Amino acid sequence: MERTQAKKLREVQNDLKRFIHANTTLIDHSLENDLRALKMVRSHIVDTAYTFPHHYGLPYRRSLRNLTSSILKRQLQMNGDNSYEDPSACMELILW
């Protein structure tokens, strides 16, 4: 089985810059972790971890699974994280 070599950070950043521009709004859950790993700073962010805060406040956060269950009344991540299902749930939460 052939192994694919991982991309370098700079290559991933350049790939993202092709469709993420200065005025692009990013919507996700706990997005700061991904942005920190990518060494990217964004000013237009909608993060469901902050939009729907934990009742104890920071540093506690409600999980995306919990938010989806309690607000949208449906199950999420039954088989682990899903790169399509998770951001779709974030969009639904923001539009709720």
pTM here is 0.77
Long-range contacts of 53-60 (CB under 8 A, 24+ apart): none
What is the pLDDT confidence band of residue 1, given thresholds at 50, 70 and 90? low
Whole-angstrom Cα distance, residue 74 to residue 85? 12
Query: Which domains does the chain show, CATH number per domain?
Result: 9-95 (3.30.420.10)
Of the pLDDT bands very low, low, confident and very high (cuts 50, 70, 90), residue 5 is: confident
Distance CA 44, CA 7 (A): 26
Residue 69: CB atoms within 10 Å:
15
23-27, 41-45, 56-60: range with lowest mean pLDDT: 41-45
Q: Mind listing the pLDDT tens digit for each residue in 61-93?
A: 999 999 999 999 999 877 777 778 888 999 999
